[in-house]
Amino acid sequence: MTALLPRRGLAQILALIVILAVDRVVSPQFFDLRLQDGRLFGSLIDVLNRGTPVALLSLGMVLVIATRGIDLSVGAVMAICGAIAASLADSHSLPVVLAAALGAGLVCGLWNGFLVAVLGMQPIVATLILMVAGRGIAQLITEGRIVTFSSPDLVWLGNGSVLGLPVPVVIALGMLILTGAVVRGSALGLLIEATGGNARASELAGVGTRAMIIAVYVWCGVCAALAGVIAAADIMGADANNAGLWLELDAILAVVIGGTSLFGGRFSLVLAVLGALIIQTMNTGILLSGYPPEFNLLVKAVVVLAVLLLQSPKLSGFAGIAARLKRTKA
């Protein structure tokens, strides 16, 4: 069983350290932490707290991508589940609210899994359907308004703290450990990597590739639901139009930064979450620096490009072109 943090995480850890160092230069108080009312405050805690939704999304996304799939619908699923949680929060107890929201995420995941594994649709197309339709569903639930709530239980989920750490951070950590335990504690990890590496070969070896694919989309839906509930709890309301908007792209980016190839196969949960933290550390740093947030997008683009170039097999792109030029001249 591959260790939770394999050797190949070095590049990501170095990247995080570099970005943290840059943040320290931009904002001298970056590493300051203070305890107030039993809760830690500071930029670092901010990074963790703000990074939670994408970290949760990346936990599901990394498994989907490991099977050579992709899930574009997670942002929309966040909106749906946030809307459900917000609508029920003031009239029902927290367990009921959570069950309803997570159940909706599970159904969304089943739908995606059904389209991909049973109907054999291309993942990018299959999940695009829910990406588009999901926002509509969320708007139907909120009837086009921003639904607010005041249930202290749900508000605590977004703003409370446990042992000094924000609740969302604790939840994300818990989900990382839970997912890791399920995936690496059972044979699921190996079978997912085999399915993503070569689906036909895996099927002929007796692996239930169809069940494997449905399972990862379901888990991705559940993770997105949790992210949606936390995002709603954070702002004490559900905004069907903007909740989770474009976050599917951040989640995919986090997975790619974490070294999991879009061609499936080998994956690492910890590195995917680390990827989410790298993105959030960049975001926070740019905010603190006083540069306009538009720079954020450019910096992200540069990071993606760097990561993809490093991932391309032996940079064969450049070498290949050079060799070809040489041959034509000869």
Which residues in this chain contact other proteins in the complex, by CB under 8 A?
1, 185-188, 190-191, 193-194, 197-198, 200-208, 265-266, 327
Shortest distance, CB of residue 202 to other proteins, whole angstroms? 7
> Would you say 52 and 171 are in contact if contact means Cβ atoms under 8 Å apart?
yes
Cα(77)–Cα(134) distance, integer angstroms? 6
CA distance 326 to 320: 10
3-state SS assignment for residue 90:
coil
Measured over the CA atoms of residue 107, residue 113, residue 116 and residue 119, the dihedral's sign is negative
Q: Minimal distance in Å, beta carbon 317 to other proteins? A: 20
For other proteins, give the closer residue by CB, 45 or 255. Answer: 255
The two three-digit tokens of residue 274, written as one number: 């680390």
- Cβ–Cβ under 8 Å, residues 113 and 219: no
Between 137 and 207, whose beta carbon lies closer to other proteins? 207
Nearer to other proteins, 28 or 206 (CB): 206
Nearer to other proteins, 99 or 201 (CB): 201
Q: How far is the CB of 38 from other proteins (least distance, A)?
A: 41
Q: Which helix (H) or strand (E) holds 282?
A: helix 269-289
Nearest distance from C-beta of residue 167 to other proteins, angstroms? 31
- By C-beta, is 153 or 203 nearer to other proteins? 203
Q: Shortest distance, CB of residue 185 to other proteins, whole angstroms?
A: 7
Residue 161 has phi, psi (to 5 degrees) of: -145, 150
Q: Which amino acid is at 309?
A: L
Minimum Å gap between C-beta 9 and other proteins is: 18
Closer residue to other proteins, CB minimum distance, 56 or 194:
194
**CB-CB contact of 195 with 67 (8 Å):** yes
In the complex, minimum distance from the CB of residue 119 to other proteins, in angstroms, rounded to a whole number: 18
Determine contact, residues 53/78, Cβ cutoff 8 Å: yes
| Closest to 71 in 3D by CA, of 191, 244, 211 | 244
7 DSSP assignment: G
21 vs 187 by CB, closer to other proteins: 187
Chain-centre distance of CA 6, in angstroms?
A: 20
What count of other Cβ atoms lies within 10 Å of the Cβ of residue 6?
A: 13
